[in-house]
């Protein structure tokens, strides 16, 4: 599948790209040098603006390597970029590790996945159908 996504880049921004033929996400890079202390969070600029087609969204997701090696994640994972948003894409990183982590401008900080979106119409009803699980919540189908 091929869709065109118009993109503008600020000075120092890196055009997102897939790192392998079957990668789901394109890497997003920082436009600044920065560091994150343990439990610190920061909105990291990418210098990237795009026009995602109607019927699609951009999902900004953490990079698994940063999570494993340093405890770096995203506060709002995944972050959603709506098709009508035209501002700069930022990545809300958080350091869940125990050490300060340094980043350089141009370094990959997150992934961008373009996904189809289905909007639904909600219909209020008086009751819901019964299922075996019912109202069983967190952990109700896991280990005993």
SS (H, E, C) the chain: CCCCCCEEECCCCCCCCECCCCCCCEEEECCCCEEECCCCEEEEECCEEECCCCCEEEEEECCHHHHHHHCEEECCCCEEECCCCCCCCEEEEEECCCCCEEECCCCEEEEEEEEECCCCCCCCCCCCCCCCCCCCCCCCCCCC
Tokens matching residue 113: 């996945």
∠ CA 82-13-48 to the nearest 5 degrees?
10
Query: Is the pTM for the entire model greater than 0.85?
Result: yes
> Where does the pLDDT of residue 2 fall: very low under 50, low under 70, confident under 90, or very high at 90 and above?
confident
For 95-133, how does the pLDDT look when each residue is reduced to its tens digit (9 = 90+)?
A: 999 999 999 999 999 999 999 999 999 999 999 999 988
For 5-40, how does the pLDDT look when each residue is reduced to its tens digit (9 = 90+)?
A: 999 999 999 999 999 999 999 999 999 999 999 999
Sign of CA dihedral 115, 108, 17, 20: negative
Phi, psi of 92 (to 5 degrees): -90, 90
Q: Is pLDDT above 70 for 144?
A: no
d(CA 61, CA 113): 8
Average pLDDT over residues 48-68: 97
What is the pLDDT, as a whole number, of residue 120? 95
For the chain, which domains are there? 7-101+108-116 (2.70.40.10)
What is the pLDDT, as a whole number, of residue 143? 65
Mean pLDDT across the chain: 94
Distance, CA of 5 to chain centre: 17
């Amino acid at each position: 599948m091929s869709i065109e996504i118009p993109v503008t880049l600020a000075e120092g921004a890196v055009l997102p790209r897939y790192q392998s033929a079957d990668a789901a996400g394109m890497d997003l890079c920082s436009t600044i040098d920065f560091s994150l202390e343990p439990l610190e969070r920061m909105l990291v600029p990418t210098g990237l603006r795009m026009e995602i087609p109607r019927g699609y969204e951009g999902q900004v997701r953490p990079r698994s390597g940063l999570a494993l090696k340093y405890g770096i994640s995203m506060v709002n994972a995944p972050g959603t970029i709506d098709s009508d948003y035209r501002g700069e894409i930022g990545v809300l990183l958080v350091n869940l590790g125990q050490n300060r982590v340094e980043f350089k401008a141009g370094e990959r900080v997150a992934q961008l996945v373009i996904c189809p979106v289905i909007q639904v119409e909600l219909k209020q009803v008086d009751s819901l159908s019964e299922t075996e699980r019912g109202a069983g919540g967190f952990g109700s189908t896991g280990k005993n």
